[in-house]
Amino acid sequence: MIRPDFEKMNGLVPAIAQDAETGEVLMMAYMNEESWEKTLETGEVHYWSRSRQELWHKGGTSGHTQKVKSIRIDCDDDTLVLLIEQIGGAACHKGYRSCFYRELKDGAVSECSPYVFDPKEVYKK
């Protein structure tokens, strides 16, 4: 079994979510030991929210969950690549398919990922 070394970076490791079929990088967040265990237990990705200081089930509010297909770990045991199936079409809380929706190319910035949903409609309080 693989296991991240949570001690190296004060309990958190970077976790890169990548579409298992296309290879598209969708987002980067952090996992702690609790989110790691919950991800393994449920088969859906859980992260640690640094801003809220709490466990975060990706898509728990929006329905845009991430189903784990496989998990890769780097040679230092301190970074993860999560090969996932993105349910609902969007990984970004701003409504885009990918959090990496802006691109600088030839001196110009453009949007390079489709807009999937309006956050004002999805995250109503």
Phi-psi map region of 91: left, alpha, beta (phi>0 left; psi -120 to 50 alpha): alpha
CA 13 – CA 10 distance, rounded (Å): 9
Tokens of 107: 């001196």
CA 89 – CA 45 distance, rounded (Å): 15
| 99 known ligand binder | yes
| 19 known ligand binder | no
| 112 known ligand binder | no
Q: Which residues pair with 108 in a beta bridge?
A: 105
Distance (Å) of CA 32 to CA 15, 45, 52, 63: 10, 12, 14, 22
Bind-site residues for Zn(2+): 75, 92, 99
Bind-site residues: 74-76, 78, 92, 99
Bind-site residues for Mg(2+): 74, 76, 78
